[in-house]
Amino acid sequence: MAYRDLQEFVKRLDAAGELVRIKEPVSPRLEITEITDRVSKRYGPALLFENVRGFKMSVLTNAFGSYKRMAMALEVPNLNALGEEVMDFIEAEAPDTIIKKLRLIPKLRRMDSAMPKLVKKARCQEVVYKGEDVDLGLLPVLHCWPEDGGPFITLPVVFTRHPETGIRNAGMYRMQIFDKNTTGMHWHAHKGGAQHYRVAERLRKRLPVAVAIGPDPAMTYAATAPLPEDIDEVIFAGFLRNEPVELVKCLTIDLEVPAYSQIVLEGYVEPGERRMEGPFGDHTGYYSLADLYPVFHVTCMTHRKDAIYPATIVGRPPQEDCYMAKATERLFLPLIKKTMPEVIDMNLPIEGIFHNLVFISIDKRYPGHAKKVMHAIWGLGQMMFSKIICVFDKEVDVQDVSHCLWRLGNNVDPRRDTVFVDGPVDALDHASPLPHYGSKMGIDCTKKWPEEGFMRKWPDIIEMDRDVKTRIDRLWPKLGLDRRG
């Protein structure tokens, strides 16, 4: 059964020993961040702060902050199972026999369950503030790091519709609190919400915006997933949940939001209006610089009577967002392999903060194959932001970073094996000479072939004789070495 709401997820975490309730009074200014950061660095539990100084709502952090909790959030045994489910669904064969027709029935049911369901009443609208009564200061929004420009909503699901096509987008974009009823809207140029806003500006129209804070875990994750343009994140969340996402109409604008959200903000963004937003201590581990971004005007705020305020802390990894990114890596790997069957595995190391470093293993089939894969990856949606791509032979375990670095150091001739290209880079890349545009590097770490101009003998890797290893395996328990230290 899918989680109905965040409260059910919290109960499940608690029952599994994955949650610690903090009853000491703490401040949302810096203190919750410091506690959460220390826990994240120790690979610790989710935290529910039940005594937030000056506020009635509890604050939940680090809820997705481990492989186990991320799998629990999406209700899969492990993150690899996520990609397997997607591939099983999209590889449905044409039902030319009765057996295939029977096998197709569960997939059709699952697709039907992905469609959202509209309801008339919702708990997220139990408490309502409109107009001058709106006060974002009632929410325990975190001021995360000392040099941040202010408090930031860090886990919002932002809903918009394309002004011409009506297609819905749900994305996650940080929101700096400016005052009681306005925030920044940190729309990067490459994101779906930013495209909707560009169209609205061209049409000189106000863009309605709704923000759901704390829907069910699958909907929160779906808002972060780099889906193809115009794929509805609400339907994707329904697929992940295997149950429809229940939506309710907003009270003041023509948008729908998840009915079991904790908090909902309704309002609009004006064409042409910008305000300086930031700095913000970001997932890069550095402060992203202040810049001009659109302004979100809140005209209505609603919430549950028992609302929990969920937040995420970003900064130098490991942090909670790293595990959300690993879920995306595992989810989309089968789709990448469908496009490029030579790909064996992929690892975006946590230290590479999603896009700075990509390790890929391939079944190398022809000269220059590694370079072909690099360029193909740069052409795949948000994989275009991959700053450094390292391509290895199929026998390399790309999940073993130590093994990869050993191969990279041994197999690469820098002049021959390094490729540089120019193109779009992530908006948070502070090293590029220009905002949003810079260089990327590919490194061919595969064994080189004579057809690639390598005429020397490629050396063999040192390996112990198999019979000797088997004999020592049998002898090992008698040596007493596992008891030492």
Active site residues: 282
Cα distances (Å, whole numbers) of residue 58 to 51, 155, 221, 306, 378: 7, 15, 21, 9, 42
d(CA 184, CA 280): 12
Task: Render 71-93 in DSSP notation, one character per residue.
Answer: HHHHT-SSHHHHHHHHHHHHTPP
Nearest CA-CA partner of 58 in 303, 283, 246, 264: 303
Neighbours of 72 (CB within 10 A): 21
C-alpha span between 447 and 53 (Å, rounded):
59
**Structure token pair of residue 134:** 């709106």
CA angle 331–87–227, rounded 5-degree value: 45
Report cis status (omega within 30 of 0) of the bond before 318: yes
- Looking from the CA of 435 toward its CB, the CA atoms found within 13 Å total 10
If you write DSSP's letter for every residue of 382-410 in order, what string do you get? GGGG-SEEEEEETTS-TT-HHHHHHHHHH
> Which among 313, 321, 322 is positioned nearest to 143, based on CA atoms?
313
CA angle, 281 as apex, 421 and 155 as ends, to 5°? 95
Q: CB–CB of 391/444 below 8 Å?
A: yes
* DSSP three-state, residue 443: strand
Contacts of 264 (CB under 8 A, 6+ apart): 124, 125, 210, 211, 212, 213, 250, 257, 300, 301, 302, 303
Which of 132, 142, 222 shows the shortest CA–CA distance to 176?
142
Question: What string of DSSP letters covers 323-368?
Answer: HHHHHHHHHHHHHHHHH-TTEEEEE--GGGTTTS-EEEEE---STT
Residue whose pair of structure tokens reads 């809207």 in the numeric block: 185
DSSP state of 29: B
- Residue 179: closest CA among 146, 131, 129, 134: 134
